Amino acid sequence: AQRADELGQLAEAFNHLAAQLGAAEEARAQWVADTSHELRTPIFNIQGYVLTLLDGVKDQKVRKDYLKKASRNVERMIRLVQDMDVLARLESNQLVLQKEAYSLTEQIEDALEQMSDRIAQQELTVVRDFDPESDCAVYADPERMDQVVLNLISNAIKYSRDESGGFVRVAIEDSGDKTYNVIIEDNGLGISKEDLGRVFERFYRGDRSRTRTKKIGGTGLGLAIVKHIVEAHGHAIKVTSTQGVGTAFSFTISKAQPLAVS
Ligand code: ADP
């Protein structure tokens, strides 16, 4: 009976392993399917322009236009490959976080500064709901968190409405001894109920934005990367949104522990 038990356990262990390998294999296959699907469009676009040019286009202006379009598609592919690389590393835990103590306030101000041209272009108001005088020292990987903050602010700008009165609100809330809660809110297009549960999936793009992607050119990877980074830090990110009203993303981040006074 004991042997049978042992064999049973062994069989169970094998089944478990096989299931795990199966899942990994499936995930790999899904990755390959997703990425080739996403790369197909820009590649075919480029091929189309190049073949037309090869056929001979007389008009100098048209030629330049095709070259520009081809170049834009190359840029899109580069962005895609870069984002996929980051996400693949995050998904396989190959990215080691380099945590240090730094100022969250400064990080947010830097991000807003980097986005200032786009904010001005769209005539958005920035609402700061934090004390600019306070450092808000956090303990996290500043480079990775840059990506989080930039992606969320960039989305708030990207999905704003084409009317005046748009804002991007950034709030830092002190949520106890250990963490800050960061909120990035907009009064833009909002996200439909159906999309809301899926926005963190890789390559997922909301319907509404699909129509605007020509202008926007997103990869659909931004939020997947954001979520991975926040979770790799041991924290969570949430989204609330109402279509036509606006969207708020909020995530937590560890405070830097002050040095013990001895
Ligand atoms: P991308 O912006 O490249 O399409 P993301 O992963 O950053 O990809 O976002 C996924 C989808 O979530 C977007 O296509 C959009 O539909 C929706 N979304 C993200 N942020 C916002 C926002 N602030 N307001 C409205 N929709 C948003």
Q: By CB neighbour count within 10 A (0-12 exposed, 13-18 middle, 19+ buried), where does 49 fall?
A: buried
Question: pTM value?
Answer: 0.84
CA–CA separation, 30 vs 88, rounded Å? 12
Indicate if the pLDDT at residue 136 is higher than 90: yes
All residues at 6 or more sequence positions from 116 whose CB lies less than 8 Å from its CB, including other chains: none
Indicate if the pLDDT at residue 102 is higher than 90: yes
User: Quick one: which of 223, 70, 33, 41 has its CA closest to 147?
Assistant: 223
**For position 215, what pLDDT does the model report?**
47
- Atom from ligand 1 closest to the CA of residue 210: 14
pLDDT in tens, 157-172: 999 988 889 999 999 9
H-helix or E-strand spanning residue 240:
strand 237-242
In degrees, rounded to 5, the angle at the alpha carbon of residue 182 between the alpha carbons of residues 148 and 184 is: 70
CA–CA separation, 116 vs 120, rounded Å? 6
pLDDT in tens, 20-78: 777 778 878 888 888 888 889 899 999 999 999 999 888 999 999 999 999 999 999 99
**For position 91, what pLDDT does the model report?**
83
- Name residues contacting ligand 1 (CB within 6 A): 155-156, 159, 186, 188-191, 195, 199, 204-206, 209, 218-224, 247
Confidence of residue 6 (pLDDT cuts 50, 70, 90): confident
Give the residue whose CA is nearest to atom 16 of ligand 1. 206
* Number of other CB atoms surrounding residue 42 within 10 Å: 19
Which of 223, 226, 229, 239 to probe ligand 1 with, by most ligand atoms within 8 A of CB?
223
pLDDT in tens, 210-251: 445 444 567 899 999 999 999 999 999 999 999 999 999 999
Q: Give the amino acid at 234.
A: G
Q: By CB neighbour count within 10 A (0-12 exposed, 13-18 middle, 19+ buried), where does 117 fall?
A: exposed
